[in-house]
Structure formats: C-alpha cells, structure tokens
Amino acid sequence: MRIIKIFDTTLRDGEQSPGASMNVEEKVQVARQLARLGVDIIEAGFAISSPGDFEAIKTIGAEVEGPIICSLARAKEEDIKRAWEAVKDAPKKRIHTFHSTSDIHLKYQFRISREEAMKRSVEMVRLARSFVEDVEFSPMDASRTDINYLCEVIEAVIDAGASTVNIPDTVGYGIPVEFGALIKAIHDRVKNIDKAVISVHCHNDLGLAVANSLSAALNGAGQVECTINGIGERAGNCSLEEVVMALRIRRDVFNADTNIKTEEIMRSSKLVTKITGISVQPNKAIVGANAFAHESGIHQDGLLKEKCTYEIIKPETVGLYKTKLVLGKHSGRHAFKTRLDELGYKLSDEELNIAFDRFKKLADQKKDIFDEDIEALISEEVEKIPEAYSLADLNIVTGMSQKPTATIKIKVGKDIIEKTEQGDGPVDAAYKAIASITNTKSTLLKFEVKSITGGTDALGEVMVSLEEGGRFVRGHGADTDIIVAAAKAYINALNKLATRKK
C-alpha cells in the first residue's frame, strides 16, 4: 500500500492562527507529541522570523527523535542561511523555501516578472541544496497560477535539486475536482516529476482543505501538509486528524495510508488546544467532544445491537477511551511513575516527588483518577515555569445574599502576602486580590473553564490569556475546586509574564 507522508505544520502555519503563538518550551512539547504521533516531517518554524522560532527549531532538532525537522525560508539568501543554521544539527533535516508564482501576487505584491520569480526560485533552491540534500519548494498561490508557467517552475526547481514540490492552495480557492486535476496535470506534464514527491498544502477558506488534500492524494500527491485541529492562517489548514482518518477508514478508495499512530490523535489534539488556547468546536470530526456521542434513540438502539450500525470509527482507534480508571487512593509511587512513563512524561526525581504529593492530595478528594487528571496534575512540572508567585492559601465567602469576598495568600520570594478583596463573583474577588498582591498591569483577555472528566468531583481546568506591554501569555490551573483552579491559572500566567520580562 502506498504511504502518504504527513508533513505537520502546526508549529509554523498553525502558529499563524490569531492568538496561537507558542514559546520555545511549548513548541518542544508539541513536537515531542508529534513524534509520538508518527508524523514524517515537522515544520518546526520559520527560522528568520524571530529568535524564538530559531531557538525552537534548533532545540526540536536536538531533542526530538524520529521525524525530519524542517524550517521555512522565503526564497532569499539570508532566510535560507538562517534556516540552515537552525536545522543543521538535526539528524534528519529539510529546508522548505517558497516564492509566489501567481500573476496576482507577482503583479500586486512583488512587482516582478514571471522570469524574475523563476530565477529567484531556482537560485534559492540551489543555495538550499548546497547546504542540505532534502529541499522542498513551494510555488505560493499555486492554485491561482497559470498552469503552463507553474509546470515550468516545478521542472526548473526539480532540476535545481528540490526533492519535494509542494502545491499550496494558499487562499483556499480550490475545489476538489479541480485541485485533483491540477495535481494530475503536474504529474502528467512535468518531465522530471519522478525525481520529486508532490506535496499539497491546502487552506480551509471554503471549508474544503481536507477534501482538496484527499482529491490530491487520489491524483498522485505523496505528501500532505496539515495541522493538528486544522489550526492555521485565517480559516486554518487541512486538519491532520481528518485527512489521516479518511485515508485509514477508506483505504479501499485511496489505496494509500499514512505512518500515523492514530491512537495518539486525541492526546495531540488536547495538547494543542491546551497550549494554543484554541478549542475545537464540539461537532468537529474526529476530535470534537460530540464526534462519538450518539444522541438519537434510533442510533442508540442500533449501537446497542451492533456497533457498526452507526459507528465507522472505533473511539479507541483515535485514542478516546471510555473513562478508563487508572489510579486511586491506594496507588503507590511506583504505579504513578509507571503510568507517567506510559503516557510519555519524563520527570526528574524532584518533580516526581512534587507531582506525587499532588496526586495523593487529589486522590483524597476524588475517588477515581484518570489519565486526563494526571496530565492536568503534572502540567506545571512539564512546563517548568519558574515560580515568582505561588498560591499559599485561598478563602472565599460567597452566596446569593452577600458580596463575594476572597482572602488570598501568595508566596512571593520568601514572604507570604495576604489580601482581601470583594468582587462581582468569587473569581472576580480572587482575581482582584491576586492583582493587588502582584501589582500586575496585565489585562485579562480570555477566561475559560471546563471539566476534565465527568462527575461533580471532576477536576476543573481553567485557561486564561493575559496581555501586558505587547506580551501575550496563557496560564492553566486545575483543581477539584474551580475557584482554586482559576487562581492557579491566573498565577501561572503571571509567572510566565515574569519569566518573559526577565
């Protein structure tokens, strides 16, 4: 069976989603999960775009084993050199360079001729090839480029050494039948196409990114570029989980599959949601909260008789397990560490001790502890954010007939500072007290609360976004008490701001 390569660009195009920017540690965390998921290539960033992107690519190249690590570069000498500096130490590396080819872009944006665009593309592919064997070229806005010119550019860049030619539907303009025909035309007309892999990179402006990518796969594409949860510029990119599951479930149609370990899909989706703060809609295919929920009586009746009546994907196939009990009050340190290893987390002895203490406290409050609880519990250890502030105590007095009042104690260095504030609700009161202790000038942009598992004793998880002086950070907190979770999330975000300021 033909294997279609999965090129994940969550850390590059995905990061271009408004508000989705990630810091180096967050990118490394996502990259580790992408490696576990089995993607073939990770586009780890755009090296020249910022020192943070450069460092993230370099660190991912040094620390994440398995996939090819790639940096994006415009067709410019300084970009390509910077991309090379970022990827050069990775065991498997790629430079992805691009130049627009559509007349619309050449005339209005670059103000150059087709000949000039072709010359720059070829020269920069050659330059990239002087550093690394694995070079990808993208003729940007390919789906709105004159087909004859597009084929000429593709032939020339393959001659110059590109081993992957990526056909971007940059503005999400393509329609499946037409986009598939474009890929077939390239396949049939470009003389040296057998020396390169045809890749596709589809945006979702018309909601067709996955359909266009699948149509391309039917017409000779050997690589699909996509992102977890479909995040990306504007309406996003082709969603990895959707394209992978369509190929897997309908192998009979595509006669192709991918190397993806689908059982890791759910975890990848949740991690990206948590890190970017971008939630998926409940009815999103594969990873939405309702994707496996059957509401109608007729459907439930069918399912009880035989699953295949209304279920085309087993939830376990994408890593969705029915509230699997993992640990409880009597579980020991060894069981806890074993489960962390199985989940892929490596903590130092000191971090493990702290996490185990927290686990024991949680087990006193909550009878059954699930994987999701453990992941929430250890997220602070995984993030490794230095703690300028830590929550020492919190007391709330609230009710329908009294003004909510919060008394908060926060450890700042060696001191414990206490403040009492009133607010419109308990969270408002707690946040006022925290703001007053920490003297923060930040603005709260987003506050979201959700329950991690079912039941009234579930851990509540709070996610906040803060902004101060052009710096944006996200904070998380989890606790069986949602006011405590809210306070932890705010403090976590303030710690990140403090680290960024340094």
Instruction: Please count the CA atoms within 13 angstroms of the CA of 412 that sit on its side-chain side.
Output: 15
Per CB under 6 A, the segment of 124-132, 164-172, 435-443, 466-474 that binds ligand KIV is 164-172
Nearer to Zn ion, 168 or 475 (CB): 168
Subset of 457-476 contacting ligand KIV (CB under 6 A): none
Subset of 120-139 contacting ligand KIV (CB under 6 A): 138
Pick one of 8, 13, 134, 381: the residue that binds ligand KIV (CB under 6 A). Answer: 13
**What is the C-alpha separation between 408 and 113, in angstroms, rounded?**
65
In the complex, minimum distance from the CB of residue 494 to Zn ion, in angstroms, rounded to a whole number: 34
Nearer to ligand KIV, 122 or 326 (CB): 122
Subset of 8-47 contacting Zn ion (CB under 5 A): 13
Q: Which DSSP string corresponds to 442-489?
A: -EEEEEEEEESSSSTTSPEEEEEEEEETTEEEEEEEEESSHHHHHHHH
**What type of residue sits at position 393?**
D
**What is the C-alpha separation between 73 and 81, in angstroms, rounded?**
9
Cβ atoms of 371 and 319 within 8 Å: the answer is no
In the complex, minimum distance from the CB of residue 419 to ligand KIV, in angstroms, rounded to a whole number: 48
Choose the one of ligand KIV, Zn ion, none that binds residue 99, judging by a C-beta under 5 to 8 angstroms depending on kind.
Answer: none
**What is the C-alpha separation between 473 and 452, in angstroms, rounded?**
22
User: Does the footprint of ligand KIV cover residue 201 (CB under 6 A)?
Assistant: yes
Pick one of 170, 215, 262, 442: the residue that binds ligand KIV (CB under 6 A). Answer: 170
**What is the C-alpha separation between 419 and 5, in angstroms, rounded?**
56
Residue 253 CB neighbour total at 10 angstroms = 12
DSSP secondary structure code for residue 239 in this structure: B
**What type of residue sits at position 463?**
M
Choose the one of Zn ion, ligand KIV, none that binds residue 492, judging by a C-beta under 5 to 8 angstroms depending on kind.
Answer: none
Helices 240-249, 209-218: crossing angle, 10 deg rounding: 40
Nearer to ligand KIV, 150 or 493 (CB): 150
Cβ atoms of 474 and 455 within 8 Å: the answer is no
Choose the one of ligand KIV, Zn ion, none that binds residue 380, judging by a C-beta under 5 to 8 angstroms depending on kind.
Answer: none
**What is the C-alpha separation between 286 and 315, in angstroms, rounded?**
9
In the complex, minimum distance from the CB of residue 219 to Zn ion, in angstroms, rounded to a whole number: 20
**What is the C-alpha separation between 383 and 477, in angstroms, rounded?**
12
Nearer to Zn ion, 249 or 278 (CB): 278
Pick one of 98, 173, 336, 359: the residue that binds ligand KIV (CB under 6 A). Answer: 98
Per CB under 6 A, the segment of 165-173, 255-263, 379-387, 400-408 that binds ligand KIV is 165-173
**What is the C-alpha separation between 397 and 85, in angstroms, rounded?**
56
Site string for Zn ion, 65-94 (x = CB under 5 A): ------------------------------
Nearer to ligand KIV, 61 or 168 (CB): 168
Choose the one of ligand KIV, Zn ion, none that binds residue 479, judging by a C-beta under 5 to 8 angstroms depending on kind.
Answer: none
Query: Where does 64-113 have alpha helices with state H?
Result: 77-87, 103-104
- Name the residues that contact ligand KIV, by CB under 6 A: 13, 98, 138, 140, 166, 168, 170, 201, 203
Residues that bind Zn ion (CB under 5 A): 13
